[in-house]
Copies of this chain bind each other. A is one copy, B any other.
């Protein structure tokens, strides 16, 4: 008995996240609001506000729902090939539904809200940088990259360059761009 309402609550939460993702996919940031989500889901606004204090909080959970560990790096022992493969796989995945519209909506909200920007960084970008760093540190230990260099910031450069295209241009990080980025990275740190 005690479990039933909790299960219903979880199902409702999941349904509202799915509705948010649908709306973001159909209308982008411009068509997204607590009202629009409530209307589409056929619930009152208070049902949403009970779970999420703001549109931004709802979007953060919606992004967690569509973010996938398929975006992790492989480790074949060839750092350049593994970075290349991951960049070429993740760039279109971040741009297309379901991730793209939700992620872009959140990034848009975060431009006017420094606290949200910090949360977005902590919940998503920090992990992206840490996984990139972990992959290149393994390469450094394996002798593929020069020893004795702190690779924390180079990991940020790799991520940042790809995000720049995503956020400020209509060009995806295609093969030529990724190869040029890796040329620079390997010229600087290849052993």
Contacts and interface: CB of A to CB of B under 8 A. Distances in A.
A163 B157 contact: no
Contact of A170 (B121, B153, B157): B121
Interface stretch (A69-77, A83-91, A111-119, A133-141): A111-119
B114 A104 contact: no
Interface in A172-191: 177, 180-181, 183-185, 187-189
B169 A112 contact: no
Given A29-B112, A112-B29, A107 B157 contact: no
A156 B167 contact: no
Given A112-B105, A187-B189, A188-B184, A167 B163 contact: yes
How extensive is the interface on chain A, given as a class? 35 or more
B160 A121 contact: no
B167 A111 contact: yes
Contacts of A147: none
Nearest to A186: B188
B111 A154 contact: no
B154 A184 contact: yes
B111 A105 contact: yes
A96 B188 CA distance: 33
Contacts of A111: 28-29, 104-105, 107-108, 167
B164 A156 contact: yes
A109 interface: yes
Interface of A: 28-30, 104-105, 107-114, 117-118, 120-121, 125, 150, 152-154, 156-157, 159-165, 167-170, 177, 180-181, 183-185, 187-189
Given A117-B170, A163-B168, 8 more contacts: A114-B170, A118-B169, A121-B168, A153-B177, A153-B180, A153-B181, A156-B161, A184-B184
